[in-house]
A and B are shown apart, each in its own frame.
Chain A
Amino acid sequence: MGEPTHAVHVHHAPKGFIRKYIFSTDHKVIGIQYYFLALFSVVLGMLLSVLFRLHLAWPNANWDLLGKLFPTGMAGGLMTPEFYLSLVTMHGTLMVFFVLTTAPQSGFGNYFLPIQIGADDMAFPVLNMLSFWITFVALVVMVMALFATGGAPLSGWTAYPPLSALGKISGPGEGLGQTLWVISLAIFCVGSLLGALNFITTTLNLRAKGMTLLRMPLTVWAWFTTSILALLAFPVLLAGGILLVLDRVGGTSFFIPAGLVVNEQLVNHSGGSPLLWQHLFWFFGHPEVYIAILPGMGVASQLLSTFSRKPVFGYKAMFSAMLAIGFLGFFVWGHHMFISGMSPYSAVAFSLLTLAIGVPSAIKTFNWLGTLWQGKIQFTSAMLFAIGFVSLFVTGGVSGIFLGQTSLDLYLHDTYFVVGHFHMIMGVAALFGIFGATYYWFPKMFGRMLNEPLGKIHFWFTFIGVNAIFFPMHIMGVAGHPRRYSDASNFNYLSSMHPLHEFITVAAIVTATAQLFFLLNFFWSLWKGKKAEMNPWNATTLEWTVPSPPPHDNFGGKLPVVYHGAYEYSVPGAKQDFIMQDSPEKIIEAT
């Protein structure tokens, strides 16, 4: 911050390893840092899920090896219920916050938003670096929670008080582990909202000449909308987190009512309300769902258009739908609380608003189909994942029509139907967005191509695998299987569902193993992959006008000028079947 003026950005590539790769202010390095943070978290989160799936399918089997690995949680090779719940909690938390929020938004967004709008960096490079390191600290604290004395937290990723607020007396995992969990989340909030304000400012102020709002790629629209959601949602979770930390360590009672007797101990708290946390949490939590999925929507639009060699069908409808989803996303948090004891009148309003938000989601689906219609579809691995995204989005979306209805939620709430629903849509659909983006942008980020055959094998295993995992969960929900049960054998009516548990676990293990194809492909290609050209996919957006990988200041000191929309494919009369955004070539108006 030494210069007297910041009017002119002068970029010198930093020298020295630490400034270049660790504490870098280059948005591209930060993007890759976020990506690797997410990669670490997703592998960890996935391993945790495989562990608890093993337990669900064979609750009485003896896993001696695991018993040695986790001497307390799996003493003698048998999983304790508290360890099961800890795994579920940590799986959810890691995946939602450190994978689905970081990879598509902070990872790819950081790398490609500035390039796609023709900027040489983010508006606040130092703040950008700070956001990453704050997120990193949050992850470190979260991993510490996993290994905390007294056990990892087990109150689920939603951490409903009083269970999460009472401390040790409410059971194992509710001591230090839960405290670290809340602190990690609060830190994460700060990092995310700083990142969000950086994204918004960059998008509005740093677009290159001619990059009008209506020429921005839909990925940019998605990152932009997501940032607005993050900016407005995370502060509310931060407030909730502050109150929960105070309840846990400061002795306050914001979320703890009077007259509780926990484990035969009279609790010395009074006056609080468990519902207050649920309101604060879900006010954040529902927009968070869209924070996870919106970038995936942007990526899917981009890929479907590029590999169908067609403009996005209904570009304006597409970004309007995204903005509508973002806007309405703030009005529907109560659908998580239909049976929570919330006013049933509020529930009616929330229900109708929730169903209304299905409309822009449906618009997006129709427009994706419209993009494929009459196209010239090239089945690259990236495209396969985009097609998979649409299919999963439909599957996950339609089950929302059930859950959005107050009355149907009376039975389906907190059953496996919900688990199946949100895994389909904000879990694997968003993950397919991340995979699609990886196959698409890897050449740009690392200068080498990913192996296509391996990518296709990865796709098929993953696509069929996730359907096999999450589809049966809907059926289990209909049959009334509550979620977060470490062992269903206590209930007669659940016992018939055991074959489904076994089937899901086998599918999960196969799918998880198939991810080795991806990791292998990723790390092998990083060093040995075919060298990537500047524009291997014949795509139109600005990142394909610069070398792979781009130089430190993206455009070599001269910012681009934009003449075209983001998806000018197969324009009649054009020299090629695509027109780059910065190409001065004229479009003969097709009427």
Chain B
Amino acid sequence: MVGLRSGTRDAGQIDQREDVNMGLAIALVLVLLCVVSVIMFSGHYWWFPPLISTYTGYDKQFMLTLIIVAIVFILAQLALGYFVWKYRDRAGRKATYVEGNNTMEVLWTSITFVIFIGLGILGQRVWAQFHFAEPPANAMEVEVTGQQFQWNIRYPGADGQFGRTEAKYVDESALNFVGVDPHDPAGKDDIASINRMVIPVNQPVKVLLHSKDVTHSFFVPGLRIKQDAVPGMTITIHFTATKTGEYEIPCAELCGLGHYKMRGILDVRTPVEYQQWLKKQASQE
């Protein structure tokens, strides 16, 4: 019975030369994979847009993770390539009967645990800065409302108070996109802007984020922040832009067919320019 089952093919039947080449080919391709990865990630041919916010910890955490991950990645791929090449089937080669090694298991389990969890804990710093820290007291408030497929920006105006909003007051033909209550005096001086969010540089900004139809996501790559705008909720985020200029605000959560063209502009200006813009807007209202 046993004899019947054993196959007729043994190691000698495999073309030896082919095996040398195959092991070598895999090893070379894996080396190539590592080289290309290193070049792509260190050459910065395509990379983060320049940082324009006070969340500087993001880039540090990313680089730290990148270096650790790169080491793990390269070691693992090279080890794979090396083993495949070194231990290929050759004449006279015998596999060693090894069932495992408990010391090794404990060692690599604890090392990976420490590295992964360590990174995870370090990574919470930026998160805490973004989510747990209160916005500074001098932060200016801006309301951002996502809609298919535009960003509605609203400033509280001179009185510093947003007018009440309600869905039934939404009237797009009258440019009342967010439904400001016409009877609320606080809303009279509100300044609305579509797809252009003008803010002064180095000024903490508190954004009240929500959506009037489906879920959108407020993403400013240069600021290193992203937050979903969820219908039915007002989520508060805060940031400080440190460089003037115009930066794009893509929508990062699938919101329908126009998702790809839902484009806002974060327009960071000097305080003087910002005040001028504000005045101009107020006079137009």
A-B interaction: yes
**Which residues does chain A contribute within 8 Å of B25, judged by CB atoms?**
460
CA distance A478 to B80 in the complex (A): 27
A310 touches B95 (CB 8 A): yes
Binary interface profile of B, 73-110, with partner A (CB < 8 Å = 1, else 0)? 10011011001100111000111111111001100110
Among the interface residues B66, B97, B117, B258, which one has the most CB atoms of the partner chain A within 10 A? B97
A315 touches B97 (CB 8 A): no
- How far does the Cβ of A387 sit from chain B's closest Cβ, in whole Å? 6
Binary interface profile of B, 214-250, with partner A (CB < 8 Å = 1, else 0)? 1101010100111110111101000000000000101
Is A502 close to B, CB under 8 A? no
Is B26 close to A, CB under 8 A? yes
Is B188 close to A, CB under 8 A? no
Is A394 close to B, CB under 8 A? yes
- How far does the Cβ of A208 sit from chain B's closest Cβ, in whole Å? 16
Q: Would A313 and B96 be within 8 Å (CB), given that A351-B123, A401-B119, A491-B248 are in contact? A: no
A311 touches B97 (CB 8 A): yes
A484 touches B259 (CB 8 A): yes
Contact residues of A between 325 and 365, Cβ < 8 Å to B: 339-341, 344, 347-348, 351-352, 354-356, 358-359, 362-363, 365
Is A411 close to B, CB under 8 A? yes
Q: Would A492 and B217 be within 8 Å (CB), given that A81-B258, A401-B65, A576-B6 are in contact? A: no
User: Which segment of B43-51, B135-143, B198-206 sits at the interface?
Assistant: B43-51
- How far does the Cβ of A335 sit from chain B's closest Cβ, in whole Å? 11
B257 touches A80 (CB 8 A): yes
**Which residues does chain B contribute within 8 Å of A482, judged by CB atoms?**
219, 250-252
Q: Would A537 and B73 be within 8 Å (CB), given that A81-B260, A355-B120 are in contact? A: no
A407 touches B130 (CB 8 A): yes
A570 touches B96 (CB 8 A): yes
A394 touches B73 (CB 8 A): yes
Q: Which residue of B lies closest to A545 (CB)?
A: B5
Contact residues of A between 479 and 504, Cβ < 8 Å to B: 479-480, 482, 484-488, 490-494, 496-497, 500
Is A376 close to B, CB under 8 A? yes
B9 touches A274 (CB 8 A): no
**Which residues does chain A contribute within 8 Å of B261, judged by CB atoms?**
487, 490
**Which residues does chain A contribute within 8 Å of B57, judged by CB atoms?**
407
**Which residues does chain B contribute within 8 Å of A340, judged by CB atoms?**
215, 228, 230
A410 touches B225 (CB 8 A): yes
B80 touches A387 (CB 8 A): yes
Q: Would A577 and B87 be within 8 Å (CB), given that A156-B254, A344-B132, A394-B73 are in contact? A: no
**Which residues does chain B contribute within 8 Å of A81, judged by CB atoms?**
257-260
- How far does the Cβ of B82 sit from chain A's closest Cβ, in whole Å? 9
- How far does the Cβ of B282 sit from chain A's closest Cβ, in whole Å? 26
**Which residues does chain B contribute within 8 Å of A536, judged by CB atoms?**
7, 9
Q: Which residue of B lies closest to A83 (CB)?
A: B257
Binary interface profile of B, 45-66, with partner A (CB < 8 Å = 1, else 0)? 1111100000001100110011
B37 touches A471 (CB 8 A): yes
**Contact of A410 (CB < 8 Å), options: B47, B112, B126:** B126
- How far does the Cβ of A278 sit from chain B's closest Cβ, in whole Å? 9
B62 touches A261 (CB 8 A): no
Q: Would A260 and B99 be within 8 Å (CB), given that A355-B120, A407-B57 are in contact? A: no
**Which residues does chain A contribute within 8 Å of B179, judged by CB atoms?**
261
A313 touches B99 (CB 8 A): yes
B254 touches A405 (CB 8 A): no
Q: Which residue of B lies closest to A272 (CB)?
A: B232
- How far does the Cβ of B165 sit from chain A's closest Cβ, in whole Å? 9
B46 touches A476 (CB 8 A): yes
CA distance A404 to B48 in the complex (A): 19
**Which residues does chain A contribute within 8 Å of B277, judged by CB atoms?**
none
**Contact of B124 (CB < 8 Å), options: A170, A394, A407:** A407
CA distance A13 to B4 in the complex (A): 25
**Which residues does chain A contribute within 8 Å of B89, judged by CB atoms?**
376-379
**Which residues does chain B contribute within 8 Å of A171, judged by CB atoms?**
148, 256-257
Is A439 close to B, CB under 8 A? no
Q: Would A359 and B65 be within 8 Å (CB), given that A352-B121, A500-B46 are in contact? A: no
Q: Would A339 and B168 be within 8 Å (CB), given that A317-B100, A482-B250 are in contact? A: no
- How far does the Cβ of A290 sit from chain B's closest Cβ, in whole Å? 17
Q: Give the A-B pair count, Cβ closer than 8 A.
A: 366
- How far does the Cβ of A372 sit from chain B's closest Cβ, in whole Å? 4
- How far does the Cβ of B59 sit from chain A's closest Cβ, in whole Å? 10
CA distance A370 to B97 in the complex (A): 12
B260 touches A486 (CB 8 A): yes
CA distance A475 to B40 in the complex (A): 8
- How far does the Cβ of B56 sit from chain A's closest Cβ, in whole Å? 12
Is B29 close to A, CB under 8 A? yes
Is A263 close to B, CB under 8 A? yes
B248 touches A492 (CB 8 A): yes
**Which residues does chain A contribute within 8 Å of B45, judged by CB atoms?**
475
A261 touches B98 (CB 8 A): no
CA distance A570 to B87 in the complex (A): 14
**Contact of B119 (CB < 8 Å), options: A339, A355, A476, A545:** A355
CA distance A376 to B248 in the complex (A): 56
A260 touches B7 (CB 8 A): no
Is A435 close to B, CB under 8 A? no
CA distance A363 to B125 in the complex (A): 28
- How far does the Cβ of B152 sit from chain A's closest Cβ, in whole Å? 11
Q: Which residue of B lies closest to A406 (CB)?
A: B127
- How far does the Cβ of A478 sit from chain B's closest Cβ, in whole Å? 6
Q: Would A590 and B95 be within 8 Å (CB), given that A85-B259, A166-B214, A413-B252 are in contact? A: no
Q: Would A377 and B248 be within 8 Å (CB), given that A339-B226, A401-B116, A533-B8 are in contact? A: no
**Which residues does chain A contribute within 8 Å of B109, judged by CB atoms?**
359, 362-363
Q: Would A341 and B117 be within 8 Å (CB), given that A170-B213, A311-B99, A314-B101 are in contact? A: no
CA distance A136 to B179 in the complex (A): 48
CA distance A516 to B228 in the complex (A): 42
- How far does the Cβ of A246 sit from chain B's closest Cβ, in whole Å? 18
Is A139 close to B, CB under 8 A? no
Contact residues of A between 382 and 409, Cβ < 8 Å to B: 384, 387, 390-391, 394-395, 398-399, 401-402, 404-408
Q: Would A402 and B65 be within 8 Å (CB), given that A260-B213, A413-B252 are in contact? A: yes
Contact residues of A between 563 and 591, Cβ < 8 Å to B: 569-572, 576-577, 580, 583, 585, 590
**Which residues does chain A contribute within 8 Å of B121, judged by CB atoms?**
352
Is B269 close to A, CB under 8 A? no
Is B2 close to A, CB under 8 A? yes
Is B285 close to A, CB under 8 A? no
**Which residues does chain B contribute within 8 Å of A3, judged by CB atoms?**
none
- How far does the Cβ of A499 sit from chain B's closest Cβ, in whole Å? 9
Is A316 close to B, CB under 8 A? yes
CA distance A39 to B47 in the complex (A): 38
A261 touches B212 (CB 8 A): yes
Q: Would A410 and B214 be within 8 Å (CB), given that A356-B116, A479-B48 are in contact? A: no
CA distance A145 to B22 in the complex (A): 45
A257 touches B219 (CB 8 A): no
**Which residues does chain B contribute within 8 Å of A374, judged by CB atoms?**
87, 95-96, 98
**Which residues does chain B contribute within 8 Å of A431, judged by CB atoms?**
none
Q: Which residue of A lies closest to B72 (CB)?
A: A398
B256 touches A154 (CB 8 A): yes
Q: List 26 A-B contacts (CB under 8 A).
A: A262-B213, A310-B97, A311-B100, A317-B100, A340-B228, A341-B235, A344-B127, A344-B132, A359-B112, A365-B76, A366-B108, A373-B83, A376-B93, A378-B89, A379-B14, A387-B84, A401-B69, A402-B69, A405-B123, A410-B127, A476-B46, A484-B259, A494-B250, A500-B46, A535-B6, A569-B95
Apart from A534-B7, A536-B9, what 11 extra A-B contacts exist at CB < 8 Å? A80-B257, A351-B127, A369-B79, A379-B14, A387-B26, A402-B62, A414-B252, A464-B29, A479-B49, A545-B5, A580-B2
